[in-house]
Amino acid sequence: MLLGAARKIGRDPCPGASLEKWVTEAGFHDVTHHRFKFPIGPWPRDAKLKDVGMYNLTQVLGGLEAFSLRLFCDVLGWRKEEVLLLTSKVRKELKNLKLHAQFDL
């Protein structure tokens, strides 16, 4: 729903797939696109990825309420209390070590 709300107002919540095209259109040559998987949370076994995951978890938890309120209330018409309840559930899930959340960059 969050991604759909962002698209509804003309924002691309997942711009990674377009980056190579944008850079090439800007005039750069010999552009190479690499995809990196970034964990959210301390679930990876690799120590470096575990640290990256903790930084990402901190970042997501810190901004979750703000960007959710904007999109869910202003775009989708939810009440603030509904969004706060949803974000509390999302925060709890993101802290679950059994959840292996990640995003591509």
Cβ distance 97 to 39 under 8 Å?
no
Dihedral over alpha carbons 20, 60, 97, 37 (to 10 degrees)? 10
d(CA 52, CA 41): 8
pLDDT (tens, 9 = 90+) of the chain, 105 residues, equals 999 999 999 999 888 888 899 999 999 999 988 888 899 999 999 999 999 999 999 999 999 999 899 999 999 999 999 999 999 999 999 999 899 999 887
Q: What is the pTM of this model?
A: 0.78
